[in-house]
Structure 1
């Protein structure tokens, strides 16, 4: 397979801070990633996506960028990044960078200038509005809690910050801002990167600044000029080049995502949407101790699969990332080793049969779990700490809040990568910036690679199948048994071939459904032999021609 064929590629997401520490300071770094390239090449992935490694105060773990052109010394140097790319390329791996340009850090020189006076040349790089001290310009809510406007005493105006107070939204209506961003993207293309992931890219175009009955999303999500801006960015930067692009889409729609990714529109290659990861948000509320809605999970995945396929768009397919809990703890079961391994494999098989570009988040391929933190001082994430304060103010008990964070915190994904059974899972010789999950002696990459029945080899096989089987890339998809409360079943078809994916999401034995034929070649399963019924967390891909 030509690695440049991103539709057949598999991407591995690296969260550098938690991946591998080469210096012993407790924080992962770029040299640490270089040390593990052989592992990633053996797994078989095509691209490595790094979350932001630029200069940053790290208030939001690097998504608050203060200099787009320099590397955060915490992670290393520009020379280290060049070495990573060179060594990755030698091993057949490509490197994607992550760019956040809906906002910058308030420590960015543009914002420092912008804040000085209303007539500063950089004032219009950001979104400043009038309001009174106790009355913000609109009622919009920040994604991290509280009002989305921050008052500035110096100029008696508010700046928009849809995320943290230190993340000021850029004014994309200002042509100078757009030109600065395009120049920066071209710098990294010239540097030699192979692709980009664009953070919350569908929020760039703000609409009217009015009060809302809700958090205000309708005024800035997929805004009035968003497609114009992304098309312009394509034409002035990566368009027509061997550069893979994926946009992170916040609260988006299928229609917009078709527009973002239909090739003739010249916008992006692919999109992340998160609707399937809100099926444990009752009433849209993230910070609850709720279980997930299995029927809604299937309906959401299939709605997007069918809609994007019919519209000639392209999905990124994924369970995990740096902002989501570990999927085996979330949609699987991690109470016993047998359940953890089976449900991790089941989740892999049921996702990797879908259409789109698969993304694997570090540790997912060995079945890493949520760490089960029980104290607030174990958490580091700004969103989590804000949520803790808000929930306590609402009257939740300490234990109730801990139970919620244990399920929903972004730090569930940010604990150190578990490499081996040595102290701190082999992540660092020092004291890690965040505690390691206590189960690392049992769950680690060294043990997984040594055991051909491990979760790791299920992922390795699924990656090989993605490279080799055109039906996984181009086949139509037919959802089946959508109201079944235990089984996730669908069929891929192409030119007389069919691939049935059937997965039991329960820890019970379930009768094989009469509507589903049993004949065919089992290409991959998480049990040794096929049975007349589906065993707990059993999953199979069955090929017919």
Structure 2
């Protein structure tokens, strides 16, 4: 059965870095409203805003101190109401981040819990007694160090899977769950189209709270083994859906790391907890499986192809996926997937189309549509991201030099995707009249929106084209709803697949090489749907591809 959200093209906004309307160096809600014409012209149909709730901003808004108010730096509730209303007039929907694994330590619930001996909110969080003056367990936080933080003047510790300023909520407590459900329904009643649901597989913890064997030089063990996708989480996720999402015709996108493919049916599909989820199997191709970011690994295009196809086929069996190559937690895709010497219009557009035409709802991260790249920081002091700073010092502990550690963090820092959007080549890239909250990427004078608008061979115009082809083109139904069938190509640097729907079939071929290559493929048509070069050489049995060429061909099923 077709769902309305399958046809959406979602544009992710990191509000702090999108556009600053008042000159304080921080992007805001009014800034997004001012750029609605641009977003509408781009062709996107939905905006996902990273957290704008009231927050101390220890983790850039993912530490919420009030679920019902906006953080003043982003504006007012009236500003958000205006954005929702004006976006709706342009047929653009709005979804927000839903952060319900943890709150800020400055949330009134937590403050009452640690300051009031008889607090009704004590059981809203997870407190444990220390053992012989030590932490309750040896679990390591995602952001480094112990998951336990001592409560001042007591022998009690509270659990935080992420930052120590992000205490985890106790989902075993029905009262906290119901308070969260009330909040979710409040926002849906306000007119949101749905949510991207943050870190949702962490809400269930191993209730034994026992230490496990260490896996690092710090004597600690990965918290993901004890507090991610644990048995019993299905009760919480089913209840969440029944008491909130199922009451509305909304879209829900789960950030659900740790979900094995044989459990996908529980998470997506007709009876799934969410409309779709992100699969990080190919996004994290460049790091060792299950390890920290600094543990780099070499990878091949064949591996990327195999992981994409595995993900696509498993998702297709049971439901729908969220397709992405960048987000606020990932480096820029062109910097991750394409060697520096090969980065140009052709490789960037080839990469864009590869992901965009997979089966699922495509996500575009701000700046991706103009080809923004990673930065190169020269000092750890230039980083804002908590995780990047932790990775730097973890790298030093593992024996890397300062130069090596800095290089590693530059490659994978979450700050890469959080630098201000490049609107033009003027001071601060046109992002703000004030001093930006974070350093810009210095290549904004070459890579910026103004330089690409209405330019035939620009990444921006290419994105407009592929959105138009998917949404309103001759083969729209096939490219949205069609099944995906991998094509077995014996050249490791080529990825090829078919999209098939009723009597339509589109063959999609992507050359990841900086050399021309030919593949044997029977093609019964020369109806070219998309090509990032002016020409393409095709015979009935062969496609000849130029360096980083992509082509979509409407033909009979191969």
Match among 452, 455, 458 for residue 454 of structure 1: 458
Q: Take 2:15 and 2:210, find their aligned partners in 1: how far apart are those partners?
A: 39
Aligned match of 1:500:
507
Q: Take 2:235 and 2:461, find their aligned partners in 1: how far apart are those partners?
A: 43
Matches of residues 384-533 of structure 1 in structure 2 within 5 Å? Answer: 384-468=388-472, 469-481=476-488, 484-510=491-517, 512-515=518-521, 517=523, 519-531=525-537, 533=544
Counterpart secondary structure, 1:52:
coil
| Higher alpha-carbon deviation: 86-95 or 388-397 | 388-397
| Higher alpha-carbon deviation: 277-286 or 343-352 | 277-286
Matches of residues 280-299 of structure 1 in structure 2 within 5 Å? Answer: 280-283=286-289, 284-288=291-295, 290-299=297-306
Shift of 1:270: 0.9
| Higher alpha-carbon deviation: 433-442 or 13-22 | 433-442
Shift of 1:106: 0.6
| Higher alpha-carbon deviation: 358-367 or 301-310 | 301-310
Conservation of the 8 A alpha-carbon contact between 1:227 and 1:260: no
Shift of 1:268: 1.3
When residues 341 and 289 of structure 1 are mapped into structure 2, their CA distance, relative to the original with a 3 A threshold, is: farther
Aligned match of 1:75:
74
When residues 464 and 354 of structure 1 are mapped into structure 2, their CA distance, relative to the original with a 3 A threshold, is: same
Is residue 369 of structure 1 aligned with residue 376 of structure 2? Answer: no
Counterpart secondary structure, 1:228:
helix
Shift of 1:121: 1.4
When residues 11 and 291 of structure 1 are mapped into structure 2, their CA distance, relative to the original with a 3 A threshold, is: same
Q: Take 2:240 and 2:107, find their aligned partners in 1: how far apart are those partners?
A: 22
Shift of 1:347: 0.9
Q: Take 2:401 and 2:426, find their aligned partners in 1: how far apart are those partners?
A: 36
When residues 240 and 180 of structure 1 are mapped into structure 2, their CA distance, relative to the original with a 3 A threshold, is: closer
Aligned match of 2:218:
none
Shift of 1:222: 1.9
Q: Take 2:514 and 2:367, find their aligned partners in 1: how far apart are those partners?
A: 23
Aligned match of 1:232:
239
Shift of 1:118: 6.0
Q: Take 1:76 and 1:124, find their aligned partners in 2: how far apart are those partners?
A: 33
Counterpart secondary structure, 1:450:
coil
Aligned match of 1:210:
210
Shift of 1:154: 3.2
Q: Take 2:174 and 2:429, find their aligned partners in 1: how far apart are those partners?
A: 48
Counterpart secondary structure, 1:374:
coil
Structure 1 unpaired stretches of 5+: none
Conservation of the 8 A alpha-carbon contact between 1:149 and 1:158: yes
Shift of 1:256: 2.7
Aligned match of 2:555:
544
Counterpart secondary structure, 1:297:
helix
When residues 137 and 442 of structure 1 are mapped into structure 2, their CA distance, relative to the original with a 3 A threshold, is: same
When residues 483 and 145 of structure 1 are mapped into structure 2, their CA distance, relative to the original with a 3 A threshold, is: farther
Aligned match of 1:325:
331
Q: Take 1:483 and 1:184, find their aligned partners in 2: how far apart are those partners?
A: 52
Matches of residues 158-177 of structure 1 in structure 2 within 5 Å? Answer: 158-177=157-176
The C-alpha deviation readout for 1:9-52, integer Å capped at 9, x for no partner, is 11000000000001111111111111110000001111000000
Conservation of the 8 A alpha-carbon contact between 2:161 and 2:223: no
Conservation of the 8 A alpha-carbon contact between 2:531 and 2:550: yes
Conservation of the 8 A alpha-carbon contact between 2:425 and 2:444: yes
Q: Take 1:17 and 1:198, find their aligned partners in 2: how far apart are those partners?
A: 19
Counterpart secondary structure, 1:87:
helix
Shift of 1:449: 1.6
Counterpart secondary structure, 1:197:
strand
When residues 481 and 165 of structure 1 are mapped into structure 2, their CA distance, relative to the original with a 3 A threshold, is: same
Aligned match of 1:259:
266
Shift of 1:258: 2.3
Q: Take 1:464 and 1:259, find their aligned partners in 2: how far apart are those partners?
A: 33
Aligned match of 2:540:
none
How many residues align? The count is 538
Matches of residues 104-143 of structure 1 in structure 2 within 5 Å? Answer: 104-116=103-115, 119-132=118-131, 134-143=133-142
TM-score when normalising by structure 2: 0.92
Aligned match of 2:216:
none
Aligned match of 1:275:
281
Aligned match of 1:190:
189
Shift of 1:303: 1.1
Shift of 1:97: 0.8
Q: Take 1:382 and 1:49, find their aligned partners in 2: how far apart are those partners?
A: 22
RMSD, aligned CA: 1.9
Conservation of the 8 A alpha-carbon contact between 2:288 and 2:296: no
Is residue 147 of structure 1 aligned with residue 146 of structure 2? Answer: yes
Conservation of the 8 A alpha-carbon contact between 1:251 and 1:274: no
